[in-house]
Structure 1
Amino acid sequence: MAVKEAEALTQKNATLQQQLIKENETYYSDLLVYIRTKTFFRDELKTEELLLEVLQDILEAQKNGVSAADYFGNSPKETADQIIEQIPFNFKNVLTTFLYAFLAYAAFSILPNLIFPETAFDAGVFLLSGIYYFFLATILIWGIGQTIYRTIPKVIEITVFLVFILLSSAPFVLKSVLHFETPLTFSLDGTLGILLILFIAAIVIYKASHEPLFATFIPIIFVSALLGVLYRLELTQHYLVSGSGKITASIIMIISVLVSVYLTHRLSKNDSR
């Protein structure tokens, strides 16, 4: 219930932000990003309640011709830190966020891995990669918060970006280059593979009907599930393994990825308003 309430407040916040003038919008956007990235392990509902209170105060001051900087002072970081101190830690939120993030990771990666029947699925590597990417994303969120109210030299920004890209490729290198495997590797051809594909697709589609984030993965999920089933049916398998079939499948898959990336970008853009 708290998650739904927090989402409702987030949506209300995004709607009210549209009423801010440019100067106040810049002030509040920096404060909002800083607080959200710094309260990852704290109570999400309390965070959104306080952010909404700040926004409503800024809007009220704006009506009276007072800027956000004049109302809260020219040290927004101190204001933000005082707000953060009021928010209690809540590790249940962290667990919930991890489960949502892991399901999103599963939606994005597991079905594409199940497309080809001859490719064995390593559940151990999949689980370890999901946990690894969650902690990597946590570090990224923390790093974004560190850059809000301080000037970072361009050289350091580029270096950090390259290091992050390198770290992001670690699971791929372990699996594809170093051929790292776990005992949880098994084949998913035939009927078993089809049933698992349909089961995972059904879960993600169900979540997509309730969560906008998962809806952005629908193109990839649909195309991956469809190709995974078709590759396991004798009627269509012969065409898909041919040269023209591979090209067709690749083009369709690339289009689905681009559509999902576009939808994710639109969602994040709307959330940041």
Structure 2
Amino acid sequence: MTKEQYFIEKNNQLRQQLTPENEKFYSDLLLYVRLHSFIQDQETIEAKLLEILQDILDAQADYISAQQYFGKNPKILADDLLEQVPKSISKFFKGLTFLFAIYLFFFSLPSMTSPNSTFDLGTFALVGLCVILAVFLSFRYLGTTIYKIDSQSDSKLRKSISSFLIGVVFMAPIFLILLFVDTPFQITINNGLGIGFILFWLAVGTVLFSKQNDKKMWLPFAFFYLLLSILGIAMRLPGNIGFFLSNTDTGQTIDLIILLVALVAFFITNFFVIRKS
């Protein structure tokens, strides 16, 4: 466990001791700082947030609220914290690399069960730029709404509608590119290359899963991806098995049933894991 992960876990444990009033104060502060600190050293950010939480708990023990202790404008406190923490360009690019890897994984996921499919590198690059831009702008927008004062009675409804419209604006270019844009930079993923990709992501997923502290939370997704991997490899095997699953009506029906069972199992197990946690 890294220091950053330790600080986050400790933070989650200590927050349970807060009163409802202090929880609201600290949750807004926490979200504001995290949304505005993606180009800063996250370990230092989490350490500072944990220090503030401990100060709130100490004041709470003396029957002093967080608002009384830090003042009525927590945005000033949050901005001061952000100014104190140095920027970390290397960690920023590390985060972008992680986001890019997740995007690559989900972008290539549909091709796992589509033998001899094509992979459009141009579309992949265009959508990737849109995704990164959408994530960046979403963080900036959400961060500005946390301490935005609006006295009108319909403020919550208006904010919900504006958030939905902004989400549509961010996501619309992505879907339009996926639906209508084809570039000449396409590669055909034959059966051998497809099996290689599946095994590569399976190895990466196994390593990442083994490093998780709370493996129960990731079990539903791990089970779903394992079933998908086995099916994808089976469909690409030379000989009767691959031909049966890929080119016959009965085989394709079996593929669909396996996919539906995997999806149902994923949602059911995920529901119970989230409910238990």
Q: TM-score range by the shorter chain?
A: 0.7 to 0.9
Please tell me whether residue 232 in structure 1 is matched to residue 230 in structure 2: no
Aligned residue-pair number: 264
- Which of these residues, 168, 185, 198, is aligned with residue 165 of structure 1? 168
CA distance in 2, matches of 1:24, 1:159: 28
* 1:182 Cα deviation from its structure 2 partner: 4.0
**2:183 matched residue in structure 1:** 181
CA distance in 2, matches of 1:180, 1:160: 30
TM-score by length of 2: 0.83
Q: Deviations over 1:137-177 (max 9, x none)?
A: 1211121111111146433541441342343242332233x
CA distance in 1, matches of 2:269, 2:88: 32
**1:134 matched residue in structure 2:** 132
Q: Which moved more, 1:149-158 or 1:12-21?
A: 149-158
Mapping 1:22-101, distance limit 5 Å: 22-101=20-99
**2:209 matched residue in structure 1:** 208
Amino acid across the alignment from 2:235: Y
CA distance in 2, matches of 1:35, 1:223: 39
Q: Which moved more, 1:62-71 or 1:132-141?
A: 132-141
Percent of aligned pairs sharing the same letter: 28
CA distance in 2, matches of 1:107, 1:181: 20
Please tell me whether residue 13 in structure 1 is matched to residue 15 in structure 2: no
CA distance in 2, matches of 1:124, 1:260: 36
Runs of 4+ in 1 over 6 A off after TM superposition: none
Q: Deviations over 1:26-79 (max 9, x none)?
A: 111111101111111112111111101100100111111111111111111111
CA contact (8 A) 1:111 1:224 kept: no
CA contact (8 A) 1:231 1:237 kept: yes
Q: Which moved more, 1:84-93 or 1:53-62?
A: 84-93
CA distance in 2, matches of 1:175, 1:220: 24
Q: Deviations over 1:223-245 (max 9, x none)?
A: 33222112213315424552632
Unaligned 5+ runs, structure 2: none
CA distance in 2, matches of 1:90, 1:209: 28
**1:120 matched residue in structure 2:** 118
CA distance in 2, matches of 1:108, 1:260: 20
CA contact (8 A) 1:50 1:83 kept: yes
TM-score by length of 1: 0.84
* 1:266 Cα deviation from its structure 2 partner: 4.0
Q: Secondary structure at the match of 2:2?
A: helix
